[in-house]
C-alpha cells in the first residue's frame, strides 16, 4: 500500500499544474447555461486547448490518438484541473467518455479515422440516444426501430434524456433491428448525424430550470449502413464495452469539487454564525470524512484495475453524499436557501438527479446484490 506520487507522476502533475496556471487566465467568460451555441463554443474551445497541449484523450489508447496515460495519471489530471478551477468536459462528455472509447474499441480503421480525431480536437460533439420513454432502467426493452433498405437503415422512434442534443453533431444510437429476437439480442449501434432529415430535438426543462437534456424524435431517418459499429444485432454488447466507466472514475473530479465546496460552506457558516450550532458543525465534519474516504475509494478502485462493479459502490455512495452536501449547504444558508440566486441553490437542485442518472440507486443496489454478492436473481 503506497499513496504518494512516483517521480514520473510527480513530473506529470507539475507539468500539468504549470500549464493550467498559464492557460486558465486566457479562457473566455463562462456562457449562460441556456445559451447552447455559447456552451458548445466554450466547451469545444477548452477541448481544443487540451488537444494542442497534448492532454486530449488522456486515457485513450495511443493508437486511437490518445495519450495512453495510466489511470493514476488520469486521477491526477482530475485532481489538478478541479483544484485549478478548469472547465469540465461539458459538451464533450459523450464523445470523450463513451462514444469515442467505444469506437476506439469496436470500430473499423475507417470508422476510427472518421470519428476519433474530431472528438479529440473538439471539432465534433456527440450525444447519446439510448434511453426511451418506455426504456429507462430497463434499457434493453428499447423499441426505436431500424429497417434495412439497401445501404441504409430507416429509423423511426423516440429517445429521451439525451444530454447536449442541441449542441451535438452526432448521436450514438441504439436501435432495434430484430424485433423477433430476445430483447438484448436484436439491438444495433449506429452513428446518426443530428442534421439528418427527420431528426427533431425538443429540449426538456429540468426542475433546475435549464434545458440540460432533450427528447429526440426520429421519423424515417436514413443512416448509412457504414455508420454501424460492430455487427447488426450486436449493439448491446458494443454499447456495454465502456458503460461501466460512467460508474467508475467519471465522477472522480467532482469529489475534489465537493471537498472544495465543503470548505466554502464552513467559511460561510463561520461568517454567518451557524458554525456555533454543533449539529451543523458535526454534519459538515462527517461530510468531510465522507468525501475524503470517497477520494480514497476512487484510488482504491483504480488500483484494482479496470472499472467494474466496484464503480457501483462508489456511484451509490457518491450520489448520496453529494445530495447530503447540498442539504447541508441549505442548512448553512437557512431561509436564504430559498433564494434561487444564492450560490449553492442551483447545485442543490441539480444534485437531485444524482441518485437517478446513470443507473438509479435501486438499480445499483440490485447490481451489487446479484453481481457482487451473488444473491439469487431478484423479484
Partner 1 sequence: MSDVDFRLTDDQRALRQGMRELLDGRFGREALRAAADADGLDRELWRELGEAGLFTLRVPEADGGVGLGLPEAVLVFEEAGRALVPGPLVATHLAGARAEPGSVVTAVWEEGGLVDHLADADYVLAGDGLLPAEPVRAAAEPVRSVDPLTPLHRSAGTAGPRAVHEAALLTAALQLGTAGWAMDAAVAYAKEREQFGRPIGSFQAVQHLCARLLVRAEPARAAVYAAAVTGDPGEIAAAKLLADEAAVAGMRDCLQVHGGMGFTWEADVHLHLKRAWLRAEQWQRAGVAEEELAAAL
Q: Which residues bind partner 1 (CB under 8 A)?
A: 1-6, 9, 70, 72, 75, 262-263, 265-266, 278, 281-286, 288-290, 292-294, 296-297, 299-300, 302-304, 310, 313, 316-317, 362, 364-366, 368-370, 372-379
The least distance separating partner 1 from the CB of residue 378, rounded to whole angstroms, comes to: 5
Residue 319 cell numbers, joined: 450520489
Closer to partner 1 at the Cβ: 69 or 86?
Answer: 69
Which strand (E) or helix (H) includes residue 172? strand 170-176
Distance CA 226, CA 229 (A): 8
Calculate the alpha carbon distances from 344 to 219, 277, 318 in Å.
Answer: 41, 20, 18
The least distance separating partner 1 from the CB of residue 328, rounded to whole angstroms, comes to: 11
Answer whether 93's CB lies under 8 Å from 122's CB. no
Catalytic, 324? Answer no
The least distance separating partner 1 from the CB of residue 285, rounded to whole angstroms, comes to: 3
Beta pairing partners, 157: 218
Closer to partner 1 at the Cβ: 77 or 115?
Answer: 77
The beta strand positions in 182-341, using DSSP E, are 187-193, 199-204, 213-224, 228-229
Per DSSP bridges, beta strands 213-224 and 170-176 are: unpaired
> Radius of gyration of the chain from Cα atoms?
21
The beta strand positions in 96-151, using DSSP E, are 126-129, 145-149
Closer to partner 1 at the Cβ: 21 or 375?
Answer: 375
Catalytic residue among 73, 172, 212, 246: 246
Distance CA 65, CA 51 (A): 10
The least distance separating partner 1 from the CB of residue 2, rounded to whole angstroms, comes to: 4
Beta pairing partners, 129: 173
Closer to partner 1 at the Cβ: 61 or 285?
Answer: 285
The least distance separating partner 1 from the CB of residue 80, rounded to whole angstroms, comes to: 14
Query: Helix or strand or coil: residue 237?
Result: helix
Any idea of the CA torsion for 178, 183, 188, 189, to the nearest 10 degrees?
160
Closer to partner 1 at the Cβ: 1 or 207?
Answer: 1
Which residues belong to the active site?
A: 246
Amino acid at each position: 500500500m503506497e499513496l504518494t506520487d512516483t517521480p514520473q507522476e510527480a513530473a506529470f502533475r507539475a507539468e500539468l499544474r504549470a500549464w493550467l496556471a498559464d492557460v486558465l487566465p486566457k479562457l473566455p467568460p463562462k456562457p449562460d447555461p441556456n445559451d447552447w451555441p455559447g456552451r458548445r463554443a466554450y466547451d469545444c474551445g477548452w477541448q481544443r486547448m487540451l488537444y494542442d497541449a497534448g492532454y486530449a484523450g488522456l486515457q485513450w489508447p495511443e493508437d486511437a490518438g490518445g495519450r495512453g496515460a495510466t489511470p493514476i495519471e488520469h486521477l491526477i489530471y482530475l485532481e489538478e484541473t478541479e483544484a485549478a478551477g478548469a472547465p469540465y468536459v461539458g459538451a464533450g462528455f459523450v464523445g470523450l467518455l463513451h462514444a469515442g472509447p467505444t469506437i476506439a474499441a469496436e470500430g473499423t480503421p475507417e470508422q476510427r479515422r472518421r470519428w476519433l480525431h474530431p472528438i479529440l480536437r473538439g471539432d465534433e460533439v456527440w450525444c447519446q440516444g439510448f434511453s426511451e420513454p418506455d426504456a429507462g432502467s430497463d434499457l434493453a426493452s428499447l423499441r426505436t426501430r431500424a429497417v434495412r433498405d439497401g445501404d441504409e437503415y430507416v429509423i423511426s422512434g423516440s429517445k429521451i434524456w439525451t444530454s447536449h442534443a442541441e449542441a451535438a453533431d452526432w448521436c450514438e444510437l441504439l436501435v432495434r433491428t430484430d424485433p423477433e429476437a430476445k430483447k438484448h439480442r436484436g439491438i444495433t449501434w449506429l452513428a446518426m448525424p443530428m442534421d439528418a432529415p427527420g431528426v427533431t430535438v425538443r429540449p426538456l426543462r429540468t426542475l433546475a430550470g435549464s434545458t440540460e437534456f432533450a427528447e429526440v424524435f426520429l421519423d424515417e431517418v436514413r443512416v448509412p449502413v457504414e455508420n454501424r459499429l460492430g455487427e447488426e444485432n450486436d449493439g448491446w454488447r458494443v454499447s456495454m464495452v465502456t458503460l461501466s466507466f460512467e460508474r467508475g472514475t467519471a465522477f472522480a473530479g467532482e469529489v475534489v469539487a465537493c471537498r472544495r465546496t465543503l470548505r466554502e460552506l464552513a467559511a460561510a457558516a463561520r461568517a454567518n454564525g451557524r458554525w456555533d450550532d454543533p449539529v451543523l458543525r458535526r454534519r459538515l465534519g462527517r461530510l468531510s470524512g465522507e468525501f475524503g474516504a470517497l477520494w480514497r475509494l476512487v484510488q482504491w478502485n483504480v488500483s484494482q484495475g479496470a472499472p467494474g462493479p466496484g464503480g457501483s459502490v462508489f456511484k451509490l455512495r457518491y450520489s448520496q453524499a453529494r445530495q447530503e452536501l447540498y442539504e447541508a449547504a441549505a442548512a448553512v444558508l437557512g431561509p436564504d436557501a430559498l433564494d434561487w440566486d444564492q450560490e449553492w441553490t442551483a447545485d442543490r437542485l441539480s444534485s437531485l438527479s444524482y441518485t437517478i442518472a446513470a443507473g438509479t440507486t435501486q438499480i445499483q443496489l440490485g447490481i451489487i446484490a446479484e453481481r457482487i454478492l451473488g444473491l439469487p436473481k431478484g423479484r
